[in-house]
Structure 1
Amino acid sequence: MDITAIDHIELFVEDVDEAAVHLRDGFGFALAGRSAGKGTRGCESVLLWQDEITLLLTSATGTDHRAAEYVRRHGAGVGVIGLRVDDAEAAFADAVVRGAVPVAPPESFGRGGAQVVFASVIGFGDVEHRFVSRDDPAGPFASFIQEVGCGRGGGGLLTTVDHFAVCVPAGTLDDTVRRYQEVFGLSLTFEERILVGSQAMDSKVVQSASERLTLTILEPDVTRDPGQIDAFLEAHGGAGVQHVAFLTGDIATAVRKSAESGVRFLATPSGYYDMLTPRLGPIGITVDELRELNVLADRDHAGVMLQIFTESRHPRGTLFYELIDRRGARTFGSNNIHALYEAVERQRASGPVVLD
């Protein structure tokens, strides 16, 4: 199947209005619509847009909607990754033949040149992939959403979804990757083992032929000390999306504006920046500005990448977001993990660790 784009991300949340306010104020998303009939589908939804990113926020109004069970088991998080394809019905049938577990059979909305088709299968854990085909890509999202006509357009803080970071239980990484290759037609593009002190994790990246869907899949090494992947899996109750990475063309502006609007980003030990120039050389932005903003930097064979992670707002400490500014780089900043660890160790050796 040919996955041409990420059509939308559906977040299952407890309160759609509260979640929408955070994403609108903090990251510059615009309100695009909400449920046409309050609770008529067993849920309430709010639609947000920004450039190429579409977010559908959904909370259950009763116990029968899938969002209710998802939130009970995992807390708020990514429940659906919508995949744009030419023919959702054919993609659904093909995926099921290849071994995908069906969730929802094809359902059509609209007619006469504006038809939209949804059809869903399980991806990993309780996260589903919803195949979406649209006669008019610029047309309405779906008939159950009453749109407000805000328009899409660029000029915001964020442009598109760069990748999803997915945590899976130990021993399931290879099977998960194989399923994405065999069922969804993705290719393995990158793999590495990451050692951080006494902790370790294995990572494999799968990507669609269009390069519009990228999953960085991580599993912990349970023979070593528990780390952040173990913590996510325990708090989340199994496999899930740890973070969504949004691409930005100007990370300094995006971080400043988001921080001014109340978004809390992870702090970086000051010592990390002391070794940045010797490690990377010139990167097109001053170390002082990176230090001020807590932005991380890395370099690969293709160029430079700047990135920062938000704190999780959720009681379980699960889902969070990444802002990433790619200046040619094609990898995912794994060197930053080592650099951060070494910086912390240097500060521990010289005294108490202070996160700026």
Structure 2
Amino acid sequence: MSIHDKTSLQLPKENLEAKDFLPLLGTDHVELYVGNAKQAAHYYMAAWGFQPLAYAGLETGLKDRVSYVVQQDKIRLVLTSPLKSGGEINKHIDAHGDGVKAIALWVDDATISYDETVSRGAESYFAPKTLKDAEGEVVLSGIHTYGETVHVFVERRNYNGVFMPGYRAWQPLYRPEDVGLKYIDHMVGNVGWNEMDKWCQFYAKVMGFAQLVSFDDKDISTEYTALMSKVMSNGNGRIKFPINEPADGKKKSQIEEYIEFYNGAGVQHMALATDNIIETVTALRNRGVEFLTVPVSYYEDVLDRVGEIDEDLAPLKELGILIDRDDEGYLLQIFTKPILDRPTMFIEIIQRKGAKSFGKGNFKALFEAIEREQASRGTL
């Protein structure tokens, strides 16, 4: 199913507090700057079931970079590497390692999106520009957000090509089966001490988002570490950005570890949705993806806490999948270990069975699992 499927536009409005001066249709793509785009593309295909979609590089006229685009249902990743020394991409990789540079948002009008956000205080990344080829045109514009992360507005209503002008179809023989990932549920940003409210206010003022929920250090703490988080959402609920900051604890929190190794604020994780988390996680484990584990004791009373669920508990326990419930239903979730050499970015797999929340009941077990990994790295 295409990311541009018109049926997706019928979703109900979820966040009535959000202002709709910046209508967002969904996440267009996520661009990561990586040290070796060819090998990164193979990893996301082989381990994660993404399909090859498009390519840009020397063969398409680029002299300074190469990009591979992979897709699974509505999730598109653009993996970009430099072709020469020096330059913006090299500096980004040197400072941060592999990581998310751009969260691209699908809009009806990239020029209006740019004008609305810049007029409200956003720092320009680049002014609106139009890219054209035989398949039509795409209009792009961009603004800065936390750290060196940017938002790119993508207007593609007049484009019928494979991805956007400058790219060609990428059709290698290797096309592994997908693993059932559907769309990006949310993307989490880690920011520095006392910066969470600043960036939440940015999303409220500049982009018209509203706060869905907040968690303080009483909600998200263990014996050793703590953090605070607020979740910002646009009006139709398709774009949700939790923002985390460190809180005082006895030892170094996961947010502090991230900021130390990422060298600043950035995207901590992508939460990818599935309709069958047991099948998805089983496939991922079989392909070598490593997940955090919680003690078996977690499952002794979990059903007392969350109530009846549709799934058998045994495979959830075997895979280490966590369960939580809110007023509207329940969710199933699991988190990978860092997928990079630096202990920075990881991926969450989530299946929502009505729940609109983010797994508050799992925070303690999850963060204790993260602390065990930190201890093994000597960074707790």
Instruction: Name the TM-score, length of structure 2 as normaliser.
Output: 0.84
Question: Of residues 171, 185, 192 in structure 1, which corresponds to 2:215?
Answer: 192
| Aligned residue type for 1:20 | A
**Structure 1 position 267 matched with structure 2 position 293:** yes
Equivalences for residues 58-73 of structure 1 within 5 A: 58-73=80-95
Tell me the alpha carbon deviations over residues 137-188 of structure 1, each in whole angstroms, 9 at most, x when there is no partner.
Answer: 65432222111379xxx97510000001111101111110001111111111
CA distance in 2, matches of 1:216, 1:336: 16
User: Identity rate of aligned residues, in percent?
Assistant: 32
Structure 1 range deviating more: 240-249 or 156-165: 156-165
| Aligned residue type for 1:54 | R
> Do the aligned partners of 1:59 and 1:67 also contact (CA within 8 Å) in 2?
yes
Corresponding residue of 1:213? 239
Question: Of residues 28, 42, 50 in structure 2, which corresponds to 1:21?
Answer: 42
**Structure 1 position 338 matched with structure 2 position 364:** yes
Corresponding residue of 1:158? 181
* SS of equivalent to 1:105: strand
Tell me the alpha carbon deviations over residues 110-138 of structure 1, each in whole angstroms, 9 at most, x when there is no partner.
Answer: 26882101111111110000011012465
> Do the aligned partners of 1:276 and 1:287 also contact (CA within 8 Å) in 2?
no
Question: Of residues 330, 340, 348 in structure 2, which corresponds to 1:304?
Answer: 330
CA distance in 2, matches of 1:63, 1:128: 22
| Aligned residue type for 2:337 | E
Structure 1 range deviating more: 33-42 or 204-213: 33-42
Corresponding residue of 2:25? 4
Corresponding residue of 1:34? 55
Corresponding residue of 1:180? 203
Shift of 1:60: 1.1
**Structure 1 position 171 matched with structure 2 position 204:** no
Structure 1 range deviating more: 100-109 or 203-212: 100-109
Tell me the alpha carbon deviations over residues 262-315 of structure 1, each in whole angstroms, 9 at most, x when there is no partner.
Answer: 111112211111121222222222221111111111111111100111111322
RMSD (Å), alpha carbons = 2.3
CA distance in 2, matches of 1:49, 1:344: 29
Relative distance call for 1:78 and 1:343 in structure 2 (3 A) is closer
CA distance in 2, matches of 1:146, 1:36: 10
Task: Name stretches of at least 5 consecutive residues in structure 2 with no aligned partner.
Answer: 1-21, 372-380
* SS of equivalent to 1:256: helix
Tell me the alpha carbon deviations over residues 65-115 of structure 1, each in whole angstroms, 9 at most, x when there is no partner.
Answer: 432111111110111000111111221122222111112222211268821
> Do the aligned partners of 1:36 and 1:146 also contact (CA within 8 Å) in 2?
no
| Aligned residue type for 2:331 | M
Relative distance call for 1:336 and 1:120 in structure 2 (3 A) is same
Question: Of residues 125, 137, 140 in structure 2, which corresponds to 1:118?
Answer: 140
| Aligned residue type for 2:305 | R
> Do the aligned partners of 1:201 and 1:221 also contact (CA within 8 Å) in 2?
yes
> Do the aligned partners of 1:295 and 1:307 also contact (CA within 8 Å) in 2?
yes
Relative distance call for 1:171 and 1:274 in structure 2 (3 A) is same
Equivalences for residues 208-287 of structure 1 within 5 A: 208-222=234-248, 225-287=251-313
Structure 1 range deviating more: 25-34 or 275-284: 275-284
**Structure 1 position 94 matched with structure 2 position 120:** no
Task: Name stretches of at least 5 consecutive residues in structure 1 with no aligned partner.
Answer: 346-356
Corresponding residue of 1:50? 72
Corresponding residue of 1:350? none
Equivalences for residues 120-135 of structure 1 within 5 A: 120-135=142-157
> Do the aligned partners of 1:255 and 1:293 also contact (CA within 8 Å) in 2?
yes
**Alignment length (residue pairs):** 342
Relative distance call for 1:138 and 1:157 in structure 2 (3 A) is farther
Relative distance call for 1:110 and 1:341 in structure 2 (3 A) is closer
